[in-house]
Chain A
Amino acid sequence: MTSEIVQFFSVQIALLAVVLILHTYIGLHIIRRTLIFSDLVLDQLAAFGALAGIGLGIEYGTVQSYLPSMIAVLFGALLLALIKPRSRAIPREAVIGIMYAMALVASLLLGDKLRGGEAYVTKTLAGSMLWVTWPLVSITAVVYILLLVFHFVFRRKFIELAENPEGFRKEKFWDFLLFTTQGIITVLIVPIAGVLLAYAFLMIPAAIAAMFTKKWAGAVIIGWTVGFVACLIGLCSSYFFNLPYGPSLVLSLGLFFVVSIIVRCFQAGNKLYG
């Protein structure tokens, strides 16, 4: 029994530690460029791909179910990079939000035609920790490390894109690479964590870090540390009090976010109102 608990926590903690590094870094790009909806678009497309896979007879959560998700997500990354409103009156975030709505609509309409569709739609939102095994952690870790190396090598390009997108050459190409990275990690994480937790992994640690520092390396360290501690608390409360896995982790991350906002408000209150 004790060894089972140790093994369970080892797998979970290893996965969280690996996942949070890249998610925090990519999240910083998304937060600083206000492309908040982009992650939900990709998450929802990954879920749509998984649902389409079920429609084609592929079991949910298996290795084969990653393929339709990957195709849907790559298509999404391409659209995210290519579609930019010409008029300044329409924010890019609005177009991305509409893409999210369309991805959700596609999932819901597909869910209408699948037997037990409602259950699958909820499953893709909530995720399941039961699928987390050592082989899955190994695959996830390898892909994440490869992506981390890629982003470390091209970090100057991506940071310049975030800080000065107007004057950036080949913006659409680098945008596509950024969204593709986001898409790949989405495909890997959504069957395990669900849409909501995947979104929270990306947004919350990065948002907390972005409030406290403008530096990229410092922000990744802050985001990873806060995210890891919050996830550990969420994981323990989920396990020991038998609470839903994904929502417990998101709520724990959310608590840290609210506390960070309060801390930041008090820290700089005089500067604003003085």
Chain B
Amino acid sequence: MFQIVQILGLPFLACIIMSSILGYLGIHVLKREVIFIDIALAQIAVIGSIAAHLLFEAPGDSPIAYTCSFGCVLLASAFYALVRSRIFQISLEAVIGISYAIAAAAALFLVGIAPGGHIHIQHILSGSLLWTGWKQIVTSLIVFSVIGCSFYLIRKPMAEISNNYQKNTIKDLKAVSWDFIFYVLLGVVITLSVQVGGIVVVFAYLIIPATISEIFARRLSMQLAIIWTAAITASLGGLLFAYKFDFSIGPSIALFLGCELILVSLVARFMQFNPKP
């Protein structure tokens, strides 16, 4: 028992910290119908990290790598915020989806000319939650707390934009600026989380708990309670499953989140559950 706590304690703590903020952001992502945003921003941040490695031989968790990743995320955020009001006959989701493909190809392109590329790709997807250290925990806690507070302060304009995202016809500079801020903050959370957990688990934390909460509730406080319960339960299950059967942690947690969603969807359908607005 003590051995399990010793091995899985820090990864579990990292899961709680990551899922706390990703779960909340997931509500906005679902309302804006930009499901691809997480994978795209994560992939774009990876390009910065690989570029830092190729140009400066900087390791993935060095300040230079983070700076390069953040630079790429800033550029992408500006692009998404600007392009939303100026694209025709295709959705922002399509643009984001395509930007993911371009970013992933650029990453493969860069690792294709560097040795040991395939191990790097596997690492980006699966992450390395098992090797989470106190340094990553403290950094994530500080950064996510600051971002969480920022979202609390700007919750009203953010909620208004997200609630009316599809029919939002305001295309002035103010709307573009709020969009830019949203994508930058989301990008920072994703960049840091992907370094710890990998793309798969970050995507799962962002989308699946928020989807589960939409099945049962419309009130934010209730949604958050459902999101955090779902994320913590799946994290615990995933960690133990990975430990017991020797699988990668990130995909295992994502698997448990997926199973939770299937289970609650079936229950909701069986009970004909309809949340009150």
B94 touches A268 (CB 8 A): no
Q: A89-B30, A203-B101 are in contact. Are A97 and B207 (CB under 8 A)?
A: yes
A247 touches B255 (CB 8 A): no
Alpha-carbon gap, A109 to B201, bound state (A) = 13
Does B148 count as interface, using CB distance less than 8 angstroms? no
A105-147 toward B: CB 8 Å interface, digit per residue (1/0)? 1001101100001110111011000000000000000000000
B88 touches A118 (CB 8 A): no
B86-128 toward A: CB 8 Å interface, digit per residue (1/0)? 1111110111011001101110110011000111011001100
Chain B hits for A210, CB < 8 A = 89-90
Do most interface residues of chain A lie in helix, strand or loop, or is the interface mixed? helix
Does B192 count as interface, using CB distance less than 8 angstroms? no
Q: A91-B30, A109-B251, A203-B94 are in contact. Are A125 and B108 (CB under 8 A)?
A: yes
B interface list, Cβ under 8 A from A? 30-31, 33, 35-36, 83, 85-91, 93-95, 97-98, 101-102, 104-106, 108-109, 112-113, 117-119, 121-122, 125-126, 171, 200, 203-204, 207-208, 211, 214-215, 218, 246-248, 250-252, 254-255, 258, 261, 269, 275
Does A204 count as interface, using CB distance less than 8 angstroms? yes
B211 touches A111 (CB 8 A): no
Q: A31-B94, A97-B36, A248-B109 are in contact. Are A121 and B101 (CB under 8 A)?
A: no
Known: A117-B122, A122-B122, A268-B86. 10 other contacts (CB 8 A): A36-B93, A104-B251, A108-B250, A109-B247, A118-B119, A121-B121, A196-B104, A207-B94, A250-B105, A265-B86
Q: A94-B211, A261-B83, A269-B86 are in contact. Are A247 and B105 (CB under 8 A)?
A: yes
Does A37 count as interface, using CB distance less than 8 angstroms? yes
A interface list, Cβ under 8 A from B? 31-32, 34, 36-37, 86-87, 89-91, 93-98, 101-102, 104-105, 108-109, 111-112, 117-119, 121-123, 125-126, 196-197, 199-200, 203-204, 207, 210-211, 214, 243-244, 246-248, 250-251, 254, 257, 261, 264-265, 268-269, 272-273
